[in-house]
Every structure is written in C-alpha cells, then in structure tokens.
Structure 1
Amino acid sequence: MTQPAVPYASVVTFSFGDSPAMADELLALVLAGRKTATCGALRDFPEGSPDRPVVGRRDVVLDGQGRRAAVIETVEVTVCRFDEIDEAFAYDEGEGFRTLVDWRSGHQGYFERNGGFSPDMDLICERFRLVEILDRAAAAGSGEDAPAGETA
C-alpha cells in the first residue's frame, strides 16, 4: 500500500529568531496575524542559496522544538540597508517593535549576536502571508505533517 504524500515535504523550512523561545514567540505573532514581514542580513542569503526568499514560494515555519507549525508564502522580497528601513516595515514585522526606534534597537542587538552589525548593512526584507497552520501534535505523533484539523 502506498503511503500518502506528506504535505510540504520538500519545501524550505526555517524558524524565526535565534533561540527556541524567540522562534515560538515570533511564530505566535505570525499565527495571530501580527507578523507579516521579516528580514535577515543579506550576507546570510547569498545569490542562489536555497534559503533565500523567493516571491511565490511557500516555506514551512518551525516552532522552537523544530516541529513544522505553519506554511507561509512570500509575497515581496526587497534588499534595503538597515538604516533605510521605514516605519511601515518595522510595524509589519510585528515583534512589539511598533516604532522604528524600537525596531532598530531590537534588530541591532539581534545582528550583533549573529554575525555583526553596521547601520549600512544590507538586509533582505520579506513580506509574506500565512497560508496554513499545521497540526504540530499530529506531526509529532506520526512523524508526518498534517494540516490543522486533519489527521495524517
């Protein structure tokens, strides 16, 4: 008997942030609809890298335990210097940084912890939409991902 295909088995997977706690916190913001954008240091996403965001691609977001939790679709990708990020992007990141001053402070600390910071560093900025919430309990129990409300 043939096993059914696991949804999103071959897509890019990642977690937000740089710790399990931050991954869970930021995932919760995505699931609540408050976080619809993210960014990273361009140096971490070289041209041709499979992890580099691509408009139209769907990726799976992992929780802090590494379980598949949600599917997002990239709707916009831009490259922008850190010191050129605007209020709208800071707000859309939804991380409690509802002002640009707060966003810059929080993200400067993040980049300092993760490879270095400079005000003129290039960022890859991504806007996305939530496509699907995956059932982490079913995925953990079966070793497969199941869309929320369905069984594997």
Structure 2
Amino acid sequence: MFRGSSFHTIDPKGRIIVPARFRDVIKASGIDSIMITRMDRCLFAYTHDQWGKLEQKILHLPEKSEAMRRFQRTFIGGAHDCKCDAQGRVLIPPFLKQYSKLDKEIVLVGVTARFEIWSRENWDQENELMEEDMRNDQVRREIAQLGI
C-alpha cells in the first residue's frame, strides 16, 4: 500500500523519481511499471494488479449515463502504462503532464491503493480546500465517525 507524501521535482524531460517506498510496492506487484491516469487536477498511479481491479469495476458501470461514458472515456482512455527505469524514474506522458500542470515542483502522495502526482501549486490549493472542508460540521462529523 502507498502511504505518506514527499516533495520532488520533475526534470525537463518529464521524468519523476518514484520514492523507494513506492517502488517497493510496485516491484512487489511483479511488474516494474505503473498505470497513470488523470483525475481531480492530478495524476493517479496504480500498480497493474490494482488497475486491473479498478478497470473491471469501471467496465461494469452502466453506459446509459452520459456522465459515466464521459468518465470512462477520460479515465480509461487517458491511462498510460509507464515503465520505471533503472534509476527509479517514470516518464510522464506530455498530455498527462499538461493536464495536471506538472512544471517543476511536484508532490507524490500515497493514498493506499494508488499514489497521486500533484503539481505543488495544485497540491497547495487542495490543502486549502481541505482546510475549508474542516470548517464544515457535516465533514467534521463524517471524519469523527472514523474515530479520528
């Protein structure tokens, strides 16, 4: 499982260094590459086994809904298989780099079954939104139900 966060940079060629603790999870899955797609102004990265499970769930969604068809198109259609090189780097495809506004400073965030790749700017905005959410009583109650 992916946990924790770390701050990095993306090089001019569009490569990021995957932290060793994340690489260990990737290697344990048996395939030295990850599936990367887009969502929420960032990139979602999955091991191939997790991606397969998620893809099966998505493929079973009803296609009657225009919104679900659009989601399938962008989430599955925007996915890219990205190989980890010998130095633990992954090349981010240009269209995904552009979508998530990855420029120089990035943040990698472990979210159990996936890790997310954020531009520093978008990550800071996301944290501001979380602070706003924490002022909402309903959100605070939902979090309290987790025992936190």
Regarding TM over 0.5, the answer is: no
TM-score by length of 1: 0.27
TM-score (norm 2): 0.28
**More helix as a share of residues:** 2
